[in-house]
Structures are given as structure tokens and as C-alpha cells.
A = this chain, B = another copy of it.
Amino acid sequence: MNILLVYAHPEPRSLNGSLKAFTIKRLEAAGHSVQISDLYAMNWKAQLDADDSIQRRPGERFDPSLDSRHAYENGLQSLDIVREQEKLLWADAVILQFPLWWFSMPAILKGWVERVYAYGFAYGVGEHSDSHWGDRYGEGTLAGKRAMLVVTAGGWEPHYSPRGINGPIDDLLFPIHHGILYYPGFDILPPFVVYRTGKIDETRYAAICEQLGKRLDELFTTAPIPFRPQNAGAYEIPALTLRPEIAPGRTGFGVHVGDDA
């Protein structure tokens, strides 16, 4: 199968650099084709701006959505964006690997999302009607592909537990899992998270590699997180609130995961 690894760490001689090398080796040994987007090594442009199109809409002020749509529809996107979209279309599975910085992805990776996720490619896809609010949240350009996060965190695991001070890791990752990956159609696998990265000796590193290796071996068989599809009846349209009889009385990110896992 084809696997894209989008990787965001500035230092190759880091835990992340080692895990990246391990991942590539493991996937290739299993017969997969692997492409890497090493964002720091590529000197990836992080900020979305008017230069993301090679020819702007004449006479208009810059509008992030409308200019993205214009560039995407007319073949006027910056080439670095086109190349990443092609990798996404090529891939059967995408792994985003990054250190958790201030409780989210590094800026350079956020900028990859903002720039590569063009209007017409990752959003603004599909028709809107009384029963269908665009192809998103379970449908879309990237439907049928799988995505998984590989995340490192300096903090302790209990700090990210259900009552931990940093907030539960599942909730911290929800805007990425659901908002960035499920939105254009990916099936989302449970994340692989390494905690307390400042305290890793050889024994722990070996254990981490064994666990990560297992997750990579099972990349195409692990059950995805059962997020609820937008257009399959669970949500009122156009309010896009969960119908009263679904997860009755509950609120928060967790209600968008079905119980029928």
C-alpha cells in the first residue's frame, strides 16, 4: 500500500527523528511504498497568504477561501501545494508525526494543513441540500483513506488523563482527528502517543519501538474511531446539531463518537 508520512520536527537527531527512521524502515520492510513530507527539511512555507496562488483574482482583495477556490479550480495553485495534494491522493494511509507543542501541532504543520487543504479539495466539496451539507465529516476527497497521529509529549501521561490538568489527550487531539482529518473523509485510527520524552533510556526506547511497530503492522486492520458521519441521519440539517435521540443529554467532543464501535 501507499503511505504518506507528514513529519514536523526541526532536529533529525531527536526522538522524533529516530521514530521517523524506524517508521519508514518498518513500513518498507512490510512491502509498502512510503513518501515523506519532512516539513522542516523541505523549508515548508508555514503561513497561508496571497502568494499561495501563482496568479491572483484580478482586482480583488485577498480572501483565503475565495482565492483558494480560484487557484484550485484554475490550476493556479503554488507548486508546493499541488505536490502535497498529489501525495495525499496517492496515499492509502497518512501518518502525521509531530511533537505536541502548546497542546497542538507545530505551526509548520498547521500551515501545511491550511495551505494544502484547498477550497474544492478538502472543503467546499459536494452539494448542499436539506439532507446533505456538503461532502464532509466522513465523506469527501480523501474518503476511503486512513490517517493516524504519532505524537510525542514532554508531560506525564496522567497530566493528559480524563481528569488531568492538561485535558484528556483524546479531547486535545479531537480538533485534529475530527476537524482536520475526518472532515475531508479520512478514517481515523487511535493515536500513538509517547509521553515524558525527556526521560527515555534504551529500554524504554525499545519498548516504544515495539509498540509503534505493532501499530504500523496493523495500520490497515485497526478499527477506526467511530466518528458519526454528518449526512447519515445523526445530525439535524442545517443546524448540524446531534438529534435529541442520539447520545441524549450528553455534550462535548465525545458525543460525535458512536457507541457502536
CB-CB < 8 A to A40: which residues of B?
47, 49
Is there a chain B Cβ closer than 8 Å to A99's Cβ?
A: yes
The answer to whether B114 touches A107 (Cβ under 8 A) is yes
Stretch at the interface among A88-96, A142-150, A253-261: A253-261
A49 to B44, CA, bound (A): 12
Indicate which residue in B154, B162, B240 contacts A156 across the interface (CB closer than 8 Å): B240
Report A248 CB to chain B, min CB distance, Å.
10
Binds B, one of A29-37, A61-69, A206-214, A215-223: A61-69
Copies in the complex: 2
B residues less than 8 Å from A102 (CB atoms):
110, 113-114, 117, 175, 179-180
- Chain A, residues 37-66, CB within 8 Å of chain B (1/0): the string is 000100010111110000000000111110
The residues of B that contact A255 with a CB separation of less than 8 Å are: 163
Q: A226 in the interface, Cβ–Cβ < 8 Å?
A: no
Q: In the bound complex, what is the Cα–Cα distance between A47 and B39 (angstroms)?
A: 10
Per the 8 Å Cβ criterion, residues 82-141 of A in contact with B are 99, 101-104, 106-108, 110-111, 113-114, 117, 137
Segment touching B, from A9-17, A19-27, A185-193: A9-17
Query: Across the interface, do A104 and B107 meet the contact criterion of CB distance under 8 Å?
Result: no
Task: Report A43 CB to chain B, min CB distance, Å.
Answer: 9
Which of B104, B158, B250, B256 is close to A239, meaning CB atoms less than 8 Å apart? B158
Central interface residue in A13, A110, A241, by most chain B CB within 10 Å: A110
**Contacting residues of chain A (160-178) with chain B, CB-CB under 8 angstroms:** 161-168, 171-172, 174-175, 178
- In Å, the complex CA distance between A253 and B160 comes to 11
**8 shortest interchain CB distances as A-B pairs:** A107-B111, A46-B46, A162-B251, A103-B179, A103-B175, A107-B110, A13-B61, A11-B62
Q: Pull 25 A–B residue pairs with CB atoms less than 8 Å apart, ordered by A.
A: A10-B62, A11-B50, A13-B61, A14-B62, A14-B63, A102-B113, A102-B179, A103-B175, A103-B179, A104-B104, A107-B107, A107-B111, A108-B111, A111-B111, A156-B239, A158-B239, A159-B241, A162-B251, A162-B252, A163-B242, A164-B239, A165-B241, A167-B253, A168-B251, A175-B175
